[in-house]
Chain A
Amino acid sequence: MALEPAATRGGGRATVLVATGCSFTDNAAPDGGAIMVTAICEGDASAECRRDGAYVNLTDTVVSGNRAIGCGYTSSSSAASSSCKSDGRLGSGGGISAAAGRVLLSDGSAVSNNTATASGGGVHSYGLAYLAVLGSRLDDNAAGDTGGALLNAGHTLAISSSSSFSRNKAKDGRASRYCSPRRRMPFVYIFDSCMNSSTRLGRSPL
């Protein structure tokens, strides 16, 4: 599923996905195997538009067994193949990839058994995206590069309310990774949560 942010300035409405008790399983895409929030509003590329125009709220919802397969995708789309040639880093966000907007995982949602050929086995948050994980779990996800559970290169990441990260794997050994555009630190908040049993062979940022 893909969401394009809407231009919200001047009274426009955001593009919204609210899912309760649903499942997203075994889907595949170059980025964001199950759910992808794209970066630019239709007809409006301003930063404000990109930040505010999309909301994803998953409650008690399962995102499982999805794949971000980057250039491994065999689509006949010429757009896909030409873009792949210019970017060997595609394949991020096995379950969810968000370049903008606000993504909330809450109240028993689970992101599990997803894979990404690049980064963010479970979730990839980047650009101006806000990501909150509240009372949810990210388990058994895998990334071919970094961030077995999630890669946050977005604006803000909040983890709270007994969320857990377990048994996630990444090639570089980091269960989660946080970085920021232009080398500024992103806003990362972690409360009342745990990360355990994830493969962390390298130095952990935590």
Chain B
Amino acid sequence: MTLLTASEITNNTAAQSGGGVMCQGSKNGGSKLFMSAGTKVVGNAASVLGGGAHLKGGCVATLSSGVVFASNTAGKVVPGRHCEALFPNLSFQ
């Protein structure tokens, strides 16, 4: 369990995912992430997914009133769409 209260996570970078925060769960017991009022995740960057935070594998994140995610950036693009009418040149995944 991770608890962040009135904290600031700012200007971090990740070469892969989760510039500010990475929360990795597991099959038998998901990790729990709590962010409470006053916590700010600002200006972080990831080259793949989740500039501010990346949640995966059964992570359960609970953000309470006043948590701010701002000015984070991520770089991953996911090719493939699921609407033939709009994207006729792409196949279904």
B4 close to A (CB within 8 Å): no
Which of B27, B59, B76 makes the CB contact (< 8 A) with A77? Answer: B76
Known: A13-B30, A29-B51. A183 touches B79 (CB 8 A): no
A-chain residues with CB within 8 Å of residue B56 when the two chains form the complex? 3-4, 6, 15, 42
Interface of A toward B, CB cutoff 8 Å = 1-4, 6-7, 10-31, 34, 36, 38-40, 42, 45, 60, 70-71, 73, 75-77, 79-80, 83-84, 86-87, 89-90, 99, 119, 126-128, 146, 151, 153-154, 179-183
Which B residues lie within 8 Å of A119 (CB)? 86
CA distance A73 to B84 in the complex (A): 25
The one of A6, A23, A29 that contacts B74, using a Cβ cutoff of 8 Å: A29
The answer to whether B84 and A23 have CB atoms under 8 Å apart is no
List residues 56-93 of chain B with CB under 8 A from any CB of chain A: 56-87, 90, 92-93
> Is A70 a contact of B77 with CB atoms below 8 Å?
yes
- Other-chain contact of A2, B28, B30, B74, B81 (Cβ < 8 Å): B74
Residue of B whose beta carbon sits closest to that of A152: B83
Which residues of B are in contact with A by a Cβ distance under 8 Å?
A: 17, 25, 27-30, 47-87, 90, 92-93
Residue in A17, A45, A127, A180 whose beta carbon sits within 8 Å of that of B61 in the complex: A17
Once the chains are docked, how many angstroms separate the CA of A4 from the CA of B78?
12
Given known contacts A30-B75, A34-B69, A38-B49, A7 and B27 CB-to-CB distance under 8 angstroms? yes
A71 to B28, CA, bound (A): 38
Known: A16-B60, A83-B78. A76 touches B85 (CB 8 A): no
> Are the CB atoms of A29 and B66 closer together than 8 Å?
no
Question: By CB atoms of chain A within 10 A, which of B51, B62, B71 has the most?
Answer: B51
Distance in angstroms between the alpha carbons of A183 and B51 in the assembled complex: 34
| Sampled A-B contacts (29; CB under 8 Å) | A6-B58, A14-B58, A15-B57, A16-B30, A16-B55, A17-B63, A18-B61, A19-B63, A20-B63, A22-B69, A24-B69, A27-B72, A28-B72, A28-B73, A29-B75, A30-B74, A30-B78, A31-B77, A73-B75, A76-B47, A77-B47, A80-B48, A83-B77, A83-B79, A127-B82, A127-B93, A128-B82, A153-B81, A181-B82
Residues of the B chain whose Cβ atoms lie less than 8 Å from the Cβ of A24: 69-70
Which residues from chain A contact B17 at a C-beta distance below 8 Å? 2
In the complex, the answer to whether A1 meets B77 with C-beta atoms within 8 Å is no
In the complex, what's the smallest C-beta–C-beta distance from A176 to chain B, in angstroms? 13
- The minimal Cβ–Cβ distance linking A17 to chain B, given in whole angstroms, is 5
Q: How far is the CB of A54 from chain B (nearest CB, A)?
A: 8
- Shortest beta-carbon distance, A45 to chain B, in Å? 8
On whether A36 and B85 interact (CB within 8 A), knowing A3-B56, A21-B65, the answer reads: no
